[in-house]
Amino acid sequence: MRITCLVSILLLLGLSKTLAFTHPKISVLAAYTIDRDSKWQLVEAKQKNFKIFVENQKINLGYNRDDAVWCYFRFKNEDTHKEVAKWLCFDNYHIDSLSIFDGNQMVLMGDRTKGRGAFMSALTYELKLGPGEERILWVKIKKQTSFLEFSFRLTSFTELENQSSSKIALVAFFIGIAFLLLMINGILLLMTRKRLYAYYICYSLLTVCYVVITMNFAKHLLFPNLLLLSEARIFSGALWYVALSYFLCCFLDLKGHQFFKYRLINFLCIVNLFIVLLSATLLWIYPNADFRYLFISGYVLFMLLIIVLFWASVTHLRIERDQAIYALLAFAPQLVWGGTLILETFEFIPYALGGNWMVFASLYEVFLFGVVLSRNYVEVFFRNTELMKEVILEKENSLRTINHVQLRERRNIANIIHDNVGSKIAHIIHLFDMKNTKLAKQNISELASDIRDISHKILPKALDEGALVSSLRSQIAILNAGLDDAEIELFCYDFPERIEQKWVYDMYLIALEAISNALKHGKAHLVTIEFYKYTDSYHFQFTDDGCGFDVLQTSLGFGLDNMEKRVGYYHGHFEISSVENEGTVIQIVIPV
């Protein structure tokens, strides 16, 4: 990113230098006079007083409503043996109309005409002077309802061709990069539906429009017959900066972090949009209306937006440093260019940065934000991919846990059936073989009772009706009867006797697992179970006075891990705390 910025600035500085040309074979005498309200014809203009000016001297009329400048040029070929061919260039290629009177010939070009220069880099007119020939040209320059400034120079065909080719290549490269980023972010917009990408696309499209019009690409190559390119340039520039402002507000989340500046920027943008709409309406209805104050207001708003956006970006360094740095890096060239443009417009400084700077600054800005947005999405994509992998791994672990639980329960059932049911069935068969029907019937009754007890131990029938507490009390009574040096206690506090919740089965098995762990692994003498019912949740606590263990150093066993997964399935909270030689406490919270 830093390399891109540095290269852009270095190229920009190299391309923005003004080259001076000398013309040893042609002498030039130039003068100008101002025609207020464009009332003069050529005959009248020739009778006025003219002021001398020289090549590359900028003539600045500031804002004017309908003024024109008449220029007088006298060219003389100092070489008396060779013909000389040069081009007269006017470097402001956004002049509304440029009328060149060469003897009986008149050439018309400019933004409000269907004529255009031969080169993209300037409005030009070819001069061919024979040996020792002298020629006089009269030129009328007009810029309606806007700021008018221009300068002239003489140069060669090769120089103009090189300048135009470089400018065409630069603008074409800018358009290509911009539309590549637009395509990428358009895809991201369709995938994410985030407003930030929509703002970027709108801002980038308006940037392309402004660059294409400002750099004379539109008039020279795309729309040579369009007569309102000057106004399109001003309006697209205003809309472009409004789009940039909204994009930066969203990019820095000013609404959430700097609400006052967000409201201020929003207000300035709304006023700017109102001025654009009012100006376009007046231009359509009253083409000759005085737009002076509307244009000045637009420039003032433009400067205020620059200041507030820069202020917001600097302040944002304390909130989101990376985002603020990106904004400042992209915004700094724009700030310099826009600031010098406005200061030069109001004649506080003599020169503004050239058009090449604007192209490079806009290209750099669009490129940086496009790359940042694309990179952010790629990072989120990879992060989501990692999360999906973790979710899949967690599901696989859960499936393995479920399989282990099922296998263990099946083994327990198989052992019970083998040890109790299987042996009694074999004994009953033997009794039938011995013709001892009475004793066989007695054993069959005992077997039926044993099967009911086994069924109740595995999963009591009462659980189907939500009787968690009574089912546990029955099982705890059976367990306490078989314990010599240990005891299990169950206490309930506002806990209902019947619960219509799906987790009653899992909680029954969790309780039995906790009791088994406390007695078998903890060597506990007292296991206390406490059930609580609150407004929004159920609390379960299992406490034992066993040997305990170091929770940080010891990984959860299969049983505890299975408990945690069962609780997590119901969006509950599972917590275990234990101290060596002091016992263990398991706490479970399940929301209502």
Q: How far apart are CA 284 and CA 194, in angstroms?
A: 37
pLDDT tens for each residue of 243-262: 888 888 888 888 888 899 99
Please provide the DSSP assignment of 49-61 as one string: --EE--TTPPEEE
Average pLDDT of span 465-474: 85
One domain, residues 236 and 297: yes
pLDDT of 52 over the 50 cut: yes
Specify whether 178 is located in the same domain as 110.
no
Statement to judge: residues 119 and 186 lie in one domain: no
172 in a domain, yes or no? yes
Clarify whether residues 219 and 340 are in a common domain: yes
d(CA 324, CA 330): 10
Residues 84 and 193 in one domain: no
566's tokens: 């069962």
Kindly tell me if the per-residue pLDDT of 30 is higher than 90. Answer: yes
Domain containing residue 494: CATH number: 3.30.565.10
Grade residue 141 by pLDDT with cuts at 50, 70 and 90. very high
| 414 inside domain | no
Q: Is the pLDDT of residue 87 over 70?
A: yes
Buried b (16+ CB within 10 A) or exposed e, 215-224: bbbbbbeeee
The answer to the question of residue 18 being in a domain is no
* Greater pLDDT, 397 or 190: 190
pLDDT, residue 88, reads: 93
Element (H, E) at 381: helix 355-416
* 3-state DSSP of 515-577: HHHHHHCCCCCEEEEEEEECCCEEEEEEEECCCCCCCCCCCCCHHHHHHHHHHHHCCCEEEEE
Work out the average pLDDT over 226-235: 78
- CB burial of 92-111 (b: ≥16 within 10 Å; e: otherwise) equals bbbbbbbbbbbeeeeeebbb
DSSP 167-230: HHHHHHHHHHHHHHHHHHHHHHHHHH--HHHHHHHHHHHHHHHHHHHHTTHIIIII-TT-S-HH
| Burial class of residue 258, CB neighbours in 10 A (0-12, 13-18, 19+) | buried
Q: Distance between CA 148 and CA 300 in Å, rounded?
A: 18
Q: How far apart are the C-alpha atoms of 89 and 101, rounded to whole Å?
A: 15
User: Which of 374, 398, 431 corresponds to the end of one domain?
Assistant: 374
Range from 32-36, 65-69, 505-509 that averages highest in pLDDT = 32-36
Q: Are 519 and 513 in contact (CB under 8 A)?
A: no
Asked, for residue 544, whether it belongs to a domain, the answer is yes
Task: Quote the number of domains for the chain.
Answer: 3
Asked whether residue 42 falls in the same domain as residue 77, the answer is yes
Chain Cα centroid distance, residue 262:
17
Closest CA to 464 of 410, 492, 504: 504
- pLDDT at residue 19 tops 80: no
In this structure, are 231 and 342 located in the same domain? yes
CATH code for the domain in which residue 72 is found: 2.60.40.2380
Asked whether residue 416 is domain-assigned, the answer is: no
Q: pLDDT tens digits, residue range 540-581? A: 999 999 888 877 776 666 677 778 888 888 889 999 888 888
And the tokens for 577? Answer: 């705390």
Q: Are residues 222 and 312 in the same domain?
A: yes
Q: How confident is the model at residue 154 (pLDDT cuts 50, 70, 90)?
A: very high
492 & 535 share domain? yes
Are 38 and 130 spatial neighbours (Cβ–Cβ below 8 Å)?
no
C-alpha to C-alpha distances, 59 to 92, 140, 141, 291, nearest whole angstrom: 11, 13, 11, 21
| Confidence at residue 411, expressed as pLDDT on a 0 to 100 scale | 66
What share of the chain has pLDDT > 70, as a percent? 79
CATH, residue 305: 1.20.1070
Do both 172 and 245 map to the same domain?
yes
Kindly indicate the confidence band of residue 381, based on its pLDDT and cuts at 50, 70 and 90.
Answer: low
Q: Which of 138, 155, 172 is the last residue of a domain?
A: 155
| Residues sharing a CB contact under 8 Å with residue 570, sequence separation 6 or more, in sequence order | 502, 503, 506, 590, 591
Sign of the CA dihedral running 427, 429, 432, 438: positive
Does 49 map to a domain? yes
Phi, psi of 555, rounded to the nearest 5 degrees: -75, 150
Of 109, 133, 155, the domain-final residue = 155
CB 54 within 8 A of CB 30: yes
The string of pLDDT tens digits covering residues 295-313 is 778 778 878 888 888 888 8
CB 241 within 8 A of CB 305: yes
Collapsing DSSP states into helix, strand and coil, what is residue 151?
A: coil
Asked if residue 454 is part of any domain, the answer here is no
Asked if residue 528 has pLDDT above 90, the reply is yes
Over residues 387-438, the pLDDT tens digits come to 777 777 776 676 666 666 666 666 666 666 666 666 677 767 767 777 777 7
Structure tokens given for 252? 């820095």
Give kind and range of the element (H or E) at residue 126: strand 123-129
- Closest alpha carbon to 530 in 577, 573, 572, 587: 587
Statement: residue 1 has pLDDT above 60: no
4 versus 298: the higher-pLDDT residue is 298
Position 152 scores a pLDDT of: 93
| Mean pLDDT, the chain, integer | 80
| Residues 314 and 228 placed together within one structural domain of the fold | yes
User: Looking at the structure, do residues 310 and 367 belong to the same domain, yes or no?
Assistant: yes
Structural domain boundaries, residue 80: 24-155
Q: 324 is written with which tokens?
A: 């603020």
pLDDT of residue 7: 39
Instruction: Please tell me the predicted confidence (pLDDT) of residue 400.
Output: 67
**Dist CA 572 CA 537 (whole Å):** 9
Q: What angle do helix axes 504-520 and 558-569 make, rounded to 10 degrees? A: 160
Please state, in angstroms and rounded to a whole number, the distance separating the CA atoms of residues 179 and 496: 66
Q: Is 547 exposed, middle or buried (0-12, 13-18, 19+ CB in 10 A)?
A: middle
